[in-house]
Amino acid sequence: MSHTVRRAVLVAAIGLPCPYCGRAMIEPEHSPSRDHIRSRKRRGTLGDSSNRAIVCWPCNSHKGEWSLERWANRLQRDGDQRADHVAAFLATLASAGRR
Ligand SMILES: [Zn+2]
């Protein structure tokens, strides 16, 4: 995918709810960004489109190199309001056979 296409995917996501926190992805504070559901250091590969999600920058930054499952556990433990959204997103992935 070219840089232009990748940029267009992010621009198209502006205004949509972030799958991790449910807030609208609005620039600049909640800009859409590309998350690797499994970090590149673990099992994710750049060529695997099922490994990508468009999420807001604060969520992406907070998740960092954690796997989505471990991040979800951490949010739950911390009482973070995003825990329910992330759990629902994980359930969607599971039902789509993407895990
Ligand atoms: Zn978010």
Q: Pairing relation of β-strands 52-56 and 32-36?
A: antiparallel
Pick from 52, 63, 54: nearest CA to 31: 54
Q: 83 C-alpha vs ligand 1 centroid, how far in Å?
A: 11
Residue 95 is predicted with a pLDDT of 84
**Where does the pLDDT of residue 2 fall: very low under 50, low under 70, confident under 90, or very high at 90 and above?**
confident
Q: 21 C-alpha vs ligand 1 centroid, how far in Å?
A: 4
Is 90 exceeded by the pLDDT of residue 6? no
Domain that holds residue 85: 3-95
Instruction: Tell me the two tokens of residue 66.
Output: 């954690």
The number of folded domains in the chain is: 1
Q: What is the pLDDT of residues 18-67, one digit of tens each?
A: 999 999 999 999 999 999 887 655 555 545 667 789 999 999 999 998 99
- What's the whole-model pTM score? 0.83
Q: 61 C-alpha vs ligand 1 centroid, how far in Å?
A: 9
Q: Tell me the HSE value of 83 on the side-chain side, using a 13 A CA sphere.
A: 10
